[in-house]
Amino acid sequence: MAASGDPLGSGLVGSLARPGGNVTGMSLMVPDLGGKRLELLKELQPQLARVAVLWDAANPYPAIVFKETQTASKTLAIEVQSVEVRTIDDFDGAFEAVRKQRPDALITVEDPLTFSYQKRIADFALANQLPSLHGVKEFAVAGGLMSYGANVADVYRRAASYVDKILRGANPADLPVQQPTKFELVINLKTARALGIAVPLTLQASADELIE
């Protein structure tokens, strides 16, 4: 695996420490990122009250992240509005639900389904004047306001080291599934200007990349 979301929940491995079969590698599973993303939006918009969370309800990993986001929302006094998709046919209805709910911001939980619609999601958020925060850098590059999550390039580099070990004779069952150790905050300042948002200098200073 180069970047699996939840290898445990999907049944790919018996445990992260001892996969126990012929599958091992890298996982993107860091569910407490849900809380960190809410904190970043709160830093951007101190009056933040309602956030819509777009997630793939057919995938166990986004479900974990969404649950963590709900837990964090209670501490931050933010209402979380669930917007679920399961197939490509659900996006039109999901976008309409967001329009009706009128949230202050939009969060997208990363997974293959939402990732494949990154540009459409970013365009929707901008067209509806919604500050948006996403799980991986590509969303911000596509026009989303911000992204915060695992540094995917680093995850792939670490996956390559596992390929090397296995080709040299290591047993996949003995190689623990690794989780991300490097994370990146990317801010699209061009999108911020289009939304009329002044990104605090403290937030800009903490960003790993600013897109102009």
Segment 60-67 shows an average pLDDT of 90
Residues 6 and 42 reside in one and the same domain: no
Residues 191 and 136 reside in one and the same domain: yes
Residues 177 and 187 reside in one and the same domain: no
Question: Highest mean pLDDT: which of 13-17, 32-36, 192-196?
Answer: 192-196
Residues 24 and 88 reside in one and the same domain: no
Is residue 149 within 8 A of residue 184, CB to CB? The reply is: yes
What is the model's pLDDT at position 142? 96
Residues 114 and 65 reside in one and the same domain: yes
β-strand partners of 210 = 187
pTM, full prediction: 0.88
Residues 78 and 130 reside in one and the same domain: yes
The CATH number that applies at residue 132 is 3.40.50.2300
What is the model's pLDDT at position 130? 96
First to last CA, the chain: 33
Phi-psi region of 139 (alpha: psi -120 to 50; beta: other; left: phi over 0): alpha
Pairing of the two strands 183-188 and 146-150? antiparallel
Residues 127 and 173 reside in one and the same domain: no
* pLDDT per residue as tens digits for the range 138-173: 999 999 999 999 888 888 898 899 899 999 999 998
Residues 145 and 77 reside in one and the same domain: yes
Strands annotated E in 13-102: 50-56, 79-85
Residues 43 and 128 reside in one and the same domain: yes
What is the model's pLDDT at position 210? 96
Residues 93 and 119 reside in one and the same domain: yes
HSE, CB side, 13 Å, CA atoms: give it for residue 5: 23
What is the model's pLDDT at position 179? 86
Mean pLDDT of the chain: 92
Residues 41 and 75 reside in one and the same domain: yes
Residues 50 and 74 reside in one and the same domain: yes
Residue 59 has pLDDT above 80, yes or no: yes
What is the model's pLDDT at position 21? 82
Question: What total of structural domains would you count in the chain?
Answer: 2
Q: Which residues form the domain of 22? A: 1-29+153-181
Exposed/middle/buried for residue 139 (C-beta within 10 Å: 0-12, 13-18, 19+): buried
Angstrom distance (rounded) from CA 53 to CA 107: 5
Residue 208 has pLDDT above 90, yes or no: yes
